[in-house]
Structure 1
Amino acid sequence: MNLVIKKYSTPLITGLFLVSAISGTALFFHWQSGWFHSMHIWLSMVLLLPFFLHLWRNWSQFLLYFRNKSMLAACLLSFVVAGGFMLTSGHRGGNPAMRVFPVLTQAPLTDLAPLLHRSPDALVERLTHSGYTVHDTTDTLDQIAAASGQQASAILLSLLPQQQHDGGAHRHGNRQPS
C-alpha cells in the first residue's frame, strides 16, 4: 500500500489539481459552464483521496511546516477570507423552495394559473369549491389566505399537481406493469 501511495499520490494530486484549476477558471469566467460544473465538483472531491493519502504518508514532514509562523499565518488568513466570502456572498442557503413560496403566494391568480397549467377561472373555481374566499382572478394566495383564515403556503401546496407514486418501485428501477 505504501508503494502505491508513494508512486501515485503526487501524480494524481497534480493531475486532478490541474483539472480543478482549469475547470474552476472556466467556471469563474462562465466559459462553457455546462461542461465544467459537474466535472469540477466531482473531480475536486476525488482529489481529496490522493491528497489525504499523501498527507498521511508525509505527516511527520508536514508537521514541520507548523514550526514556521508563516504556515500558521497562511492558514489563518485562508480561513478568514473563506469566512468573509461565506458571510458576504448573499446566498442564504437552505431549501430554495422556501424562497420561491413568497413569490408564488404574492402573485395574482392570473399570473399563477399558467404555472399550474390551469386557467385563472379554473383556479377560482377550485379554490371556492375547497371553501376559500376568492373575490377575483387578480387576488393573490396571500389575500385569499387572509380572507379565509388559512396559510397561503398550504393553499399553494393544495394547488400543486400531485405526483403518482408506484409504491417505491421506481427507486430501484423495477417498474411493475400497470
Structure 2
Amino acid sequence: LGVATVYQDLALCDNIDVVGNLYLGRELRRFGVLDEVEMERRSRELLSTLSIRIPSVRIPIASLSGGQRQTVAIARSMLGEPKLVILDEPTAALGVEQTAQVLDLVERLRERGHAVILISHNMADVKAVADKVAVLRLGRNNGVFDVKTTSQEEIISAITGATDNAVTRRAARNAEVSK
C-alpha cells in the first residue's frame, strides 16, 4: 500500500551484515540461488542515494553506531519505494551527532517526495524537521499545529493537557503587558 514503518527497536540482526539486513526476507535470487552481487550493488546504490555513510556494506550491524543502525533500518524501509514512511522514536536512544544524522536523513526523505510521520517525544527533533505536529492525548486528537507559528509551550500543553500552569500564566501576562 506504499506505507513503510521503522519501529523503535529497529528489528535488525546484529550478526548479519548491512546487505543481509537490508534484504532480510526480500532476498534477490537468480536461478534459485541468492544473488549476493546484485544485492550488494543495490545496497550501495540505495545508501548512496540516501547519502548514508557506512564503512562497508559487508560490515556486521553490531559494528555500527546507533545512528548508523537507525539509518540502515530506514534504508531497508525504502526498498519497497513507499510513499509514506512512519518512524517510531527514531532518535530515542541516540547521541547528539547520531540524532543529527537521522534528522538529516528525514529531511532527505522529504526532499525525495516521501511523506514522513515522525513519532517522538523530543520536541527539538520534531521542530527541526516537521511542518505540522499532531498531538494525540489519551487516544484522541488534541490538536494539529503549524510548527512555524506555534510555540513549543503550546504543543507541550496539548501533550500534557496542561492549560493552566506557570508557563501559560507567564505567557498570558507577557502578552497583556506587550499590548
Task: Give TM-score, length-normalised by structure 2.
Answer: 0.26
**Structure (1 or 2) with the greater helix fraction:** 1
Higher relative contact order (CA 8 A, sep 6+): 2
**Structure (1 or 2) with the greater strand fraction:** 2
